[in-house]
Amino acid sequence: MAAPFVLVVLAAVTVRAALYRSSLANFIAERVEVASPLNAWKRVVEGLALLDLGVSPYSGDIFHETPLIIYLFHFLIEYAELVFMITDVLTAVALYLAIQDFNKVVFKKQKLLIELDKYAPDVAELIQTPMEMHYIPLKVALFYLLNPYTVMSCVAKSTCAINNSVIAFFILATIKGSAFLSAVFLALATYQSLYPLTLFAPALLYLLQRQFIPIKLKSKSFWLYTMQYASLYLCSLVVIICLSFFLLNSWDFIPSVYGFILSVPDLTPNIGLFWYFFAEMFEHFSLFFVCVFQINVFFYTIPLAIKLKEHPMFFMFVQLAIISIFKSYPTVGDIALYMAFLPVWSHLYRFLRNIFILSCVLIFCSFLFPVLWHLWIYAGSANSNFYYAITLTFNIGQILLVSDYFYAFLRREYYLTHGLHLTRQDGTEAMLVLK
Amino acid sequence: GRMAAAVLLLLQLLLAAGPAPGRADAGQERRDALREELLLSPLPTGDVAATFQFRTRWDADLQRGAVSHYRLFPKALGRLVAALGVRELHLALTQGFWRTRYWGQPPLQAPAGAELWVWFQPTVTDVDKAWKELSNILSGIFCASLNFIDSTNTVIPTASFKPLGLANGTDHHLLRYAVLPREVVCTENLTPWKKLLPCGSKAGLAVLLKAERLFHSSYHSQAVHIRPICRDASCLAMSWELRQTLTVVFDFFSSGQGKKDWSLFKMFSRTLTDTCPLASQSKVYVDISPKNKEKELLEVSPPPTSVHEAVVQGEKKTYAVYDLLSPSLFNTSRSLNVQLKWKRPQDSSEMPIPTLHAQRYVAGYGLQTGQICTLIYNTHPYRAFPVILLETVPWYLRLYVHTLTIITKGKENKPSYIHYQPAQDRRRPHLLEMLIQLPANSVTKITIQFERALLKWTEYPPDPNHGFYVGSSVLSALVPSVTAMKDTDVEQSPLFTSLFPSSDGSSYFVRLYTEPLLVNLPTPDFSMPYNVICLTCTVVAVCYGSFYNLLTRTFHVEEPSRGGLAKRLANIIRKFRGVPPL
């Protein structure tokens, strides 16, 4: 398995290197779908230039990266392209190893449930076999590295790639069962973009499952482990924030980074829903809707945790997707991360209802984004509504994709426990409805 | 002998008993004096520039003690200075643009729109509050929308705009500078400005200020400057100086009707009839300097009362002077109509190029990014000199200072001092100040890239596709003089030579402004707020609905239902038709 993986990595690196040297690099770096005010490379360079001028990068409203990024790129600015390529490769490696381990866990759990007779007798075709699961880690790495979204994000040198890498390592640490490393990487991811805070729940559920601790509210060991994990996470977060204070000896970065993410003052168009909504919002309701939209991201965690407590990895996938769709400044790099997980659920394909239409919607919208941007901004023959419409359609496509996978997952679980061929009381073929 | 000594003693006693400076005595009259002058200078392109200056000097201390008796100094401005702790105030309202390249160095330039810069006294504790109050009060006095001056267009320059009057210690936190490029100047700004003059517009030079002619011009700039100055050469006491200046450039083609001969009546549709009785000096200067050391180009009539030579802006110039207070001027006729005739046609190759001039424009296409380019020309053949450039860019044009490039003669030119304050969204603008050395006979190109922001729909002005104005950038420089200036008494020299303090005669101070810029920003659709809110909330609701269904409902095998009312009705109809039931 190592050889095909190395081939994939080489191909990915070649594509990126070729694009870096071409004239497309500048064009891609300017695209608003790829670079947002939070993670554009232009702004990192600007922040470092301000630091050279003796002005704090956080004194203006240009730079919204964390101080650790300043630390990192202060020394590595010359090798930026190499850094981003290595980051992508590391993410792919982390995902590969994580999914490899996850497959083993899935297989073990399946075997256990079969032995415990939890499955219905006629579901043999639904059970995952090692044969079909063999190539999934490679497919995951392939989906991530050769996804056009990832390639564009890397060529634009968007720091979203670094965030994706940290989240990938967090997933690897969680699957391997190391609570400490998992907490540290989660703290780093939260520190950089705040929304990975919601990934605390699936990680906790996975680690509890791995330790065979039952998830009951009255159980003492449950609370003990939760407290341990939570305190590891919070302590690492506090340590990282204090380290950032000592870079510039000020707390200025907190309103600049977290205040910016939460209050959305910059309305630069992107592929998300926030920009046009707040550009057209009545001033009176602005604060209310900012709160509503931010709560919307964090809001699905508890219900999903209750429903998917036996399946924390799927919960992680759905949570990542919700973050990528509803965060305040999404880019295609965030989408690339959750799309990398789709091969893991490839066994759900037979239960997906709208996959063809949704993939068409996503592909067409991805092509229409630059066209309508050009028509609005450069040609002047369209207006902002055109770009906004594509934003809406793209987000609906993503939402329906995720809910389709969720539906398929739940349906497969039902079939596993109740059998594939359902009959009604009178013996005729039965339909399954969601009631 | 003894008589003379006695008279001398008496005189000395009288002088000694005169008002001592600093004694706040309610009954004492503070000495104030008004000087007015008009400078007519024909410009190289055939236009003519007229600069009025009305200067009231008041030997009083507005800061200490309550001054209640105002004579020549306007009460509105005096109380303003006293109440808000103003040390220097400079307000200019301008319409049009002074084309330095073709018209030469301006005597006193102002940027298009409204410009206000103020130095406050060190005793003022909350400078921002005082600044806000000051702009609101001035807005009322001059009927201009200066109340739009707020933190989003105010900056604190560190190197430009040093005080023009007396100053001890220059903490730049006491300085505020704001420019409103969109401000329009019209008659209702001129009227209150004229009302501040001691004689109003009824006598003296101010009778020429008729709005219908003044605004029919290429350039109209009216300004108010208040500053403390030395009372005399020893500078032991302080006086307050109020200068009201009005510069107007009459267009050769539209006003002159093709003929290049000018007269006061042609320019202002009025002539001078009498002097202002309150003025201690009232003069008209006409610039008749010969070009290239040849015979004069101009002939003035009626013959001037005297001819004055001065070194102005580094060059020797000759002026024909009409002293309105001399009795011989109004002897023959009750009105004075100064006429200028060109003796020989002006050669276009004679147009002198000013030593320092600049140009600014926006480059780039589309509504996403752009570039501000400034070109500064130093046409002096062998002298290099530094220039301070001050740029104020509104926050919605996001400047990237790492793209700042300064190129002179093909090589990079690093500024020796650079002060950059980045903008904060909706709170303060960008401030960029640089000290750039201009080599002799060179063009320096300064470029900086910016990104255009999308604003909230309520933040666009009416007619958003007109664009947004970026205020002029300010260039301050000490330009080397051609002729060294002699140190003359400020009180004796004409007013137009004494606005800027000159430390030595080898260079003169000049402040230039570049063009204001008009930049378009991407606009949202203003008719769509309700639609956008509904559609976006629909998308969020789609997600919420799908997830709600999946989270709260479970799969069930479908139970056969007896059918609802509609099915039963349909079956009854089918029975009548003889068709099998559903």
Q: Tell me what ipTM this predicted complex has.
A: 0.93
Residue type, B236: L
Pick the closest to residue B80 from B121, B28, B29, B40 (CA basis). B121
Both B362 and B338 in one domain: the answer is no
Summarised one tens digit per residue, pLDDT across range B385-400 is 999 999 999 999 999 9
Torsion angle of the four alpha carbons B191, B196, B199, B201, in this order, in degrees rounded to the nearest 10: -10
Contact A396 B542 (CB under 8 A): yes
- pLDDT greater than 60 at residue B12: no
Query: In this complex, is the C-beta atom of A434 within 8 Å of any C-beta atom belonging to chain B?
Result: yes
What's the mean pLDDT in A77-105? 95
Q: Report the percent of chain B where pLDDT is more than 70.
A: 88
**CA gap A53, A100 in Å, rounded:** 48
Name the band, by pLDDT with cuts 50, 70 and 90, for residue B551: very high
Summarised one tens digit per residue, pLDDT across range A63-76 is 999 999 998 999 99
Both B115 and B191 in one domain: the answer is yes
| pLDDT at site B27 | 39
Both B80 and B162 in one domain: the answer is yes
What's the mean pLDDT in A32-55? 94
Cis peptide before B302 (omega within 30 of 0): yes
**CA gap A232, A240 in Å, rounded:** 12
Average pLDDT, chain A: 93
Q: Which residues, other chains included, contact A129 with Cβ-Cβ below 8 Å and sequence gap of 6+?
A: none
| pLDDT at site A425 | 66
**CA gap A87, A68 in Å, rounded:** 16
Tell me how close the Cα of A138 comes to any Cα of chain B, in angstroms.
30
Residue type, A300: Y
Both B335 and B438 in one domain: the answer is no
- pLDDT greater than 80 at residue A423: no
Question: Lowest-confidence range among B198-212, B408-422, B433-447, B451-465?
Answer: B198-212
| pLDDT at site B373 | 97
Q: Sign of the CA dihedral A24, A27, A33, A36? A: positive
Pick the closest to residue B498 from B86, B88, B37 (CA basis). B37
> Nearest residue on chain B to A389, judged by CA atoms?
B535
The angle, 0 to 180 degrees and rounded to 10, between the axes of the packed helices A80-115 and A67-76 is 120
DSSP secondary structure letters along B248-263: EEE-TTTTSTT---EE
Summarised one tens digit per residue, pLDDT across range B69-89 is 888 889 899 889 999 999 999
**CA gap A240, B121 in Å, rounded:** 46
Q: Does some domain include residue B23?
A: no
Q: Report the percent of chain A where pLDDT is more than 90.
A: 84
Tell me which of B342, B370, B386 is where a domain ends: B342
> Nearest residue on chain A to B428, judged by CA atoms?
A60
> Nearest residue on chain A to B364, judged by CA atoms?
A378
Contact B557 A396 (CB under 8 A): no
Domain ranges of chain A: 1-418
Query: In this complex, is the C-beta atom of A403 within 8 Å of any C-beta atom belonging to chain B?
Result: yes
- pLDDT greater than 70 at residue A420: yes
Q: Does some domain include residue B453?
A: yes
Name the band, by pLDDT with cuts 50, 70 and 90, for residue B201: confident
Query: In this complex, is the C-beta atom of B545 within 8 Å of any C-beta atom belonging to chain A?
Result: no
How many other C-beta atoms are found inside a 10 Å radius of the C-beta of residue B17? 8
| pLDDT at site B458 | 93
Both B338 and B376 in one domain: the answer is no
Contacts of A403 in chain B (CB under 8 A): 543, 546-547, 550
User: Residue B60's Cα: distance from chain center in Å?
Assistant: 28
Summarised one tens digit per residue, pLDDT across range B273-287 is 888 888 998 999 998
SS3 state at B575: helix
Q: Does some domain include residue B545?
A: no
| pLDDT at site B16 | 47
Pick the closest to residue A160 from A168, B478, B345, B184 (CA basis). A168
Q: Which residues, other chains included, contact B245 with Cβ-Cβ below 8 Å and sequence gap of 6+?
A: B51, B52, B53, B54, B108, B221, B222, B223, B225
Summarised one tens digit per residue, pLDDT across range A332-347 is 999 999 999 999 999 9
What's the mean pLDDT in A245-271? 93
| pLDDT at site B25 | 44
**CA gap A144, B312 in Å, rounded:** 72
- Identity of the residue in B368, B535, B560 whose CB atom sits nearest the CB atom of A424: B560
- pLDDT greater than 90 at residue B526: yes
SS3 state at B572: helix
Both B286 and B332 in one domain: the answer is yes
Question: Which 3-state string (H, E, C) describes A172-223?
Answer: HHHHHCCHHHHHHHHHHHHHHHCHHHHHHHHHHHHHHHHCCCCCCCCCHHHH
How many other C-beta atoms are found inside a 10 Å radius of the C-beta of residue B363? 10
CB interface of B with A, residues 377-416, below 8 Å: 395, 398, 400-402
**CA gap B448, B401 in Å, rounded:** 7
- pLDDT greater than 90 at residue B11: no
Both B103 and B242 in one domain: the answer is yes
| pLDDT at site B316 | 84
Name beta bridge partners: B270.
none
- pLDDT greater than 60 at residue B20: no
- Identity of the residue in B366, B424, B557 whose CB atom sits nearest the CB atom of A378: B366
What's the mean pLDDT in A120-129? 83
Q: Which residues, other chains included, contact B337 with Cβ-Cβ below 8 Å and sequence gap of 6+?
A: B263, B264, B265, B271, B272
Contact A377 B368 (CB under 8 A): yes
Query: In this complex, is the C-beta atom of B520 within 8 Å of any C-beta atom belonging to chain A?
Result: no
- pLDDT greater than 90 at residue B439: yes
- pLDDT greater than 50 at residue B290: yes
Q: Which of A41, A43, A56, A267 to mutate to test the interface with B (most CBs of B within 10 A)?
A: A267
Query: In this complex, is the C-beta atom of A246 within 8 Å of any C-beta atom belonging to chain B?
Result: no
Contact A280 B524 (CB under 8 A): yes
- pLDDT greater than 70 at residue B64: no
Question: Lowest-confidence range among A316-325, B56-65, B543-552?
Answer: B56-65
As given in the structure block, the two tokens for residue B452 are 């255009």
Both B128 and B213 in one domain: the answer is yes
> Nearest residue on chain B to A297, judged by CA atoms?
B540
Pick the closest to residue A271 from A177, A368, A136 (CA basis). A368
Residue with token string 């009255």? A218
| pLDDT at site B415 | 94
**CA gap A192, A185 in Å, rounded:** 11
Contacts of A269 in chain B (CB under 8 A): 454, 522
Q: Sign of the CA dihedral A146, A147, A151, A157? A: negative
Contact B547 A266 (CB under 8 A): no
Q: How many domains does chain B have?
A: 2
CB interface of B with A, residues 192-221, below 8 Å: none
Both B325 and B387 in one domain: the answer is no
What's the mean pLDDT in A300-329? 95
What is the side-by-side order of every strand in the sheet holding B417-421? Answer: B417-421, B430-438, B385-393, B474-480, B507-513
Q: Which of A30, A31, A51, A61 to mutate to test the interface with B (most CBs of B within 10 A)?
A: A61
- Could you tell me if B62 and B82 are in contact, meaning their C-beta atoms sit under 8 angstroms apart? yes
- Identity of the residue in A61, A265, A377 whose CB atom sits nearest the CB atom of B367: A377
Contact B525 A376 (CB under 8 A): no
Contacts of A267 in chain B (CB under 8 A): 453-456
Question: Lowest-confidence range among A144-148, A233-237, B491-495?
Answer: B491-495
More confident residue, B262 or B532: B532
Q: Which residues, other chains included, contact B201 with Cβ-Cβ below 8 Å and sequence gap of 6+?
A: B194, B207, B209
- Could you tell me if B431 and B421 are in contact, meaning their C-beta atoms sit under 8 angstroms apart? yes
Contact B540 A385 (CB under 8 A): no
The single-letter DSSP state of residue B84 is H
List the CATH number of the domain containing B452. Answer: 2.60.40.740
The angle, 0 to 180 degrees and rounded to 10, between the axes of the packed helices A312-326 and A286-299 is 160
| pLDDT at site A426 | 65
Q: Does some domain include residue B508?
A: yes
Both B112 and B220 in one domain: the answer is yes
Taking the model in full, what pTM does it have?
0.90
Q: Does some domain include residue B569?
A: no
SS3 state at A27: helix
> Nearest residue on chain B to A414, judged by CA atoms?
B555
For A177, phi then psi, to 5°, come to 95, 10
* Residue range of the domain that includes B209: 32-342
What's the mean pLDDT in B232-251? 89
> Nearest residue on chain A to B396, judged by CA atoms?
A266
Both B335 and B368 in one domain: the answer is no
Pick the closest to residue B508 from B497, B516, B518, B519 (CA basis). B497
Summarised one tens digit per residue, pLDDT across range A162-216 is 999 999 999 999 999 999 999 999 999 999 999 999 999 999 999 999 988 888 8
Average pLDDT, chain B: 86
More confident residue, B365 or B556: B365
Both B233 and B300 in one domain: the answer is yes
Contact A385 B528 (CB under 8 A): yes
Q: Does some domain include residue B290?
A: yes
> Nearest residue on chain B to A377, judged by CA atoms?
B367
**CA gap A36, A335 in Å, rounded:** 14
